[in-house]
């Protein structure tokens, strides 16, 4: 199923043929430089299963992203429920991960803007968060471009305290729809 279309992208259900390029994406040290480690094939398969489970449970998730012109999987953009304890959880997060060949073309921003519109207009989300390591300025730039506002810095409880990736920034955006500012029920 195609959930969201932009002029250049399809945000859609995952297909079996996405799994191998997804493994390659998560094994790429450049793509994963702002994460504690790359993912093995087995770890990616578990992540894929978790994405599928979130779709079944919530009706939304991390959508597979395809460039229309090439009919090519380039990564994901979408929503996720963080599973760690923080003063802003439970919440809905928007996130993205694209292969490095897709960087610098505005795909993350284009897809994330459309994803937020879908979340607010179709899913009825009242607010969305995003976060990343302080050193990940490319993702912070996307957060700013899609209208999110900086909230604060925090230390991610699932990253080793001595890691340069432990300190994160938190961004937030509320639905522009009057009367639709609600926090969806989120199970912990």
Residue 66 pairs with which residues in a beta bridge? Answer: 10, 73
CA distance 112 to 62: 11
Express as a percent the part of the chain with pLDDT over 90.
93
Crossing angle of the two packed helices 107-121 and 137-145, in degrees rounded to 10: 50
CA distance 77 to 109: 10
Q: How far is CA 178 from the centre of its chain?
A: 25
- The mean per-residue pLDDT over the stretch 37-50 comes to 98
- Confirm if 180 and 127 have CB atoms less than 8 A apart: no
Q: Considering only CA atoms, which of 54, 99, 62, 93 is closest in space to residue 78?
A: 62
pLDDT band at 176 (very low <50, low <70, confident <90, very high): confident
Q: In 3-state terms, what secondary structure has residue 168?
A: strand
- Confirm if 95 and 106 have CB atoms less than 8 A apart: no
Express as a percent the part of the chain with pLDDT over 70.
94
Average pLDDT, the chain: 94
- The mean per-residue pLDDT over the stretch 17-37 comes to 97
In the chain, what are the helix, strand and coil shares in percent, each to the nearest 5? 30, 25, 45
Q: Considering only CA atoms, which of 73, 95, 84 is closest in space to residue 11?
A: 73
pLDDT band at 182 (very low <50, low <70, confident <90, very high): very low
Of 52-56, 84-88, 102-106, 182-186, minimum mean pLDDT range: 182-186
Chain segment 117-173, per-residue pLDDT in tens: 999 999 999 999 999 999 999 999 999 999 999 999 999 999 999 999 999 999 999
Q: What is the pLDDT of residue 177?
A: 75
- The mean per-residue pLDDT over the stretch 65-91 comes to 97
Instruction: Please give the backbone phi and psi of residue 127, each rounded to the nearest 5 degrees, phi first.
Output: -155, 155
Residue 96 burial (10 A CB sphere; 0-12, 13-18, 19+): buried
- Confirm if 114 and 6 have CB atoms less than 8 A apart: yes
Angle of CA points 172, 60, 89, to nearest 5°? 40
* pLDDT at residue 180 greater than cutoff 70: no
Q: What is the pLDDT of residue 169?
A: 98
Please tell me the number of Cα atoms within 13 Å of 27 on its side-chain side. Answer: 12
pLDDT band at 83 (very low <50, low <70, confident <90, very high): very high
């Amino acid at each position: 199923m195609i959930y969201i279309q932009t002029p250049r992208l399809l945000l859609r259900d995952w297909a079996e043929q996405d799994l191998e390029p997804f493994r390659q994406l998560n094994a790429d040290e450049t793509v994963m430089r702002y994460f504690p480690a790359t993912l093995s094939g087995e770890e990616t398969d578990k992540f894929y299963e978790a994405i599928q489970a979130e779709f079944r449970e919530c009706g939304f998730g991390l959508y597979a992203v395809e460039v229309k012109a090439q009919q090519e999987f380039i990564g994901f953009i979408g929503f996720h429920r963080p599973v760690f304890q923080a003063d802003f959880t439970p919440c809905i997060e928007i996130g993205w991960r694209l292969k490095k060949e897709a960087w610098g073309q505005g795909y993350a921003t284009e897809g994330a803007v459309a994803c937020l519109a879908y979340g607010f207009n179709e899913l009825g989300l009242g607010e969305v968060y995003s976060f990343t390591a302080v050193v990940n300025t490319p993702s912070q730039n996307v957060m700013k471009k899609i209208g999110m506002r900086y909230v604060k810095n925090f230390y991610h409880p699932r990253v080793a305290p001595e890691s340069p990736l432990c300190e994160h920034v938190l961004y937030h955006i509320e639905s522009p729809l009057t009367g639709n500012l609600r926090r969806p029920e989120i199970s912990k």
